[in-house]
Amino acid sequence: MRNNMHIIPINQWKEYNQRPLVIAGPCSAETESQVLETARQLKAEGKTDVYRAGVWKPRTRPNSFEGVGSDALPWLRRVQQETGIPVTVEVANAKHVYEALKYNITLLWLGARTTANPFAVQEIAGALKGADVGILIKNPVNPDIELWYGAVERIYAAGISKIGLVHRGFSTYDKSIFRNLPQWQIPIEMKSRLPEVAMINDPSHIGGKRELLGEIAQKAMDLNFDGLMIESHVNPGEAWSDAGQQITPEELTTLLENLVLRNPDVNKPELLESLSELRGKIDEIDDRLLCLLEKRMQIARSIGEYKKKNNMSVLQNKRWEEIIYKNIEKGKQKGLSREFINRLFKAIHQESINHQIKILNRQENTVSVKS
């Protein structure tokens, strides 16, 4: 689907044309000295294009630190004045927008919980009318691409054409090594729907742990993301929010220097040739996977007939647990993650159940027509 919005690509906004664009700074603004000291160190390291800090913090549970509020805005203005690094803050309602604009903050971001709430996005869009600001829109907490896209449409409709996206992962009930599952296919699809819009990866909120940041950031670079938003704090262990995932400005430099930025010359014919050979192999395997799935569903339908005839229920929990356990074990030996096998087989199982239920219903209808 082609979009008919005319969003200005981030490399054409005047101060944000570096690639990858690095947005760094603490999860929360805590004190004036923490904000300024972090900014000074980031400036000295020389890798930060935009300084981030949360002033109003949306916390999952009450009684957590909810941000200093507007009192922190003069500190951020000092960061801009002293370091020359532009600042960005999260806004979650109209009042936040008016406050941030009062302090000349011209890059704002919508947090994941806000993007998930169309009322809040609409209210913010109303407050933004006529303002010359850039807006970064984080993905919603739930893996709903339409909700993410809808937030872009609402902000665009308010006359804002400097829009960027931030991929921060998706909430999950299942245990995972990630704090928020990356579900890379969602930002990839979003990027194909909005090719001109910058896609920035936020390894901090995906990983939830310092140790994971490097590999997530590398993956984002391999997938051609346009930038990174990484939480950095002068004293991460003592941070008032998200202490486990923040890194010092010096550690940020190491992380960024270790990134491999692959930018092959796509016009070299020999590179394209080997790539298309490998892509051909992938296409062939995908065809085979589809044929196998088709066969599996045929068998599921036969099982449906059998269960109907013998008056058995569609869902046999014990059998399902056996399948998943067995395949997780086998997958492990083949280097496939537990999380992947779990999701893959859950999806296959759901499709089998749908086929079986269709069979049961069709037979019931036939009976009722005859009688």
Interface with ligand PEP by CB under 6 A: which residues? Answer: 27, 54, 58, 111-112, 138, 168, 205
Contact between 52 and 23 under an 8 Å Cβ cutoff? The reply is yes
Least distance between Mn ion and beta carbon 251 (Å): 16
Query: String of b and e for 89-122 (b: at least 16 CB within 10 Å)?
Result: bbbbebebbebbbebebbbbbbbbbbbbbeebbb
Least distance between ligand PEP and beta carbon 279 (Å): 34
Least distance between Mn ion and beta carbon 210 (Å): 13
How far is residue 48's CA from residue 86's CA, in Å, rounded to a whole number? 10
How far is residue 243's CA from residue 236's CA, in Å, rounded to a whole number? 5
Binder among 242, 253, 300, 352 for Mn ion (CB under 5 A): 242
Contact between 108 and 52 under an 8 Å Cβ cutoff? The reply is no
**Closest to ligand PEP by CB, 23 or 125:** 23
204-233: which residues touch Mn ion (CB under 5 A)?
none
How far is residue 244's CA from residue 221's CA, in Å, rounded to a whole number? 23
**Closest to ligand PEP by CB, 111 or 236:** 111
Question: From the list ligand PEP, Mn ion, none, which binds 226 (C-beta under 5 to 8 Å, kind-based)?
Answer: none
Query: 89 Cβ partners below 8 Å, 6+ apart?
Result: 52, 53, 54, 55, 56, 73, 76, 96, 100, 105, 108, 109
Least distance between ligand PEP and beta carbon 41 (Å): 19
Least distance between ligand PEP and beta carbon 109 (Å): 7
| Alpha helical stretches, state H, the chain | 32-45, 73-83, 94-102, 112-115, 118-128, 145-157, 185-193, 203-207, 213-222, 249-258, 269-309, 317-333, 338-370
**Closest to ligand PEP by CB, 112 or 359:** 112
DSSP letter for each residue of 188-216: HHHHHHSTTS-EEE-HHHHH-SGGGHHHH
23-82: which residues touch Mn ion (CB under 5 A)?
27
Question: From the list ligand PEP, Mn ion, none, which binds 210 (C-beta under 5 to 8 Å, kind-based)?
Answer: none
Question: From the list Mn ion, ligand PEP, none, which binds 191 (C-beta under 5 to 8 Å, kind-based)?
Answer: none
Least distance between ligand PEP and beta carbon 243 (Å): 12
Contact between 264 and 58 under an 8 Å Cβ cutoff? The reply is no
Least distance between ligand PEP and beta carbon 110 (Å): 8
Question: From the list Mn ion, ligand PEP, none, which binds 112 (C-beta under 5 to 8 Å, kind-based)?
Answer: ligand PEP
**Closest to ligand PEP by CB, 112 or 121:** 112
Question: From the list Mn ion, ligand PEP, none, which binds 111 (C-beta under 5 to 8 Å, kind-based)?
Answer: ligand PEP
Least distance between ligand PEP and beta carbon 43 (Å): 21
Contact between 165 and 137 under an 8 Å Cβ cutoff? The reply is yes
Cβ-closest residue to ligand PEP?
111
How far is residue 152's CA from residue 155's CA, in Å, rounded to a whole number? 5
**Closest to ligand PEP by CB, 58 or 331:** 58
**Closest to ligand PEP by CB, 39 or 359:** 39
How far is residue 360's CA from residue 228's CA, in Å, rounded to a whole number? 50
**Closest to ligand PEP by CB, 91 or 128:** 91
**Closest to ligand PEP by CB, 216 or 341:** 216
Residues forming the site for Mn ion (CB under 5 A): 27, 242
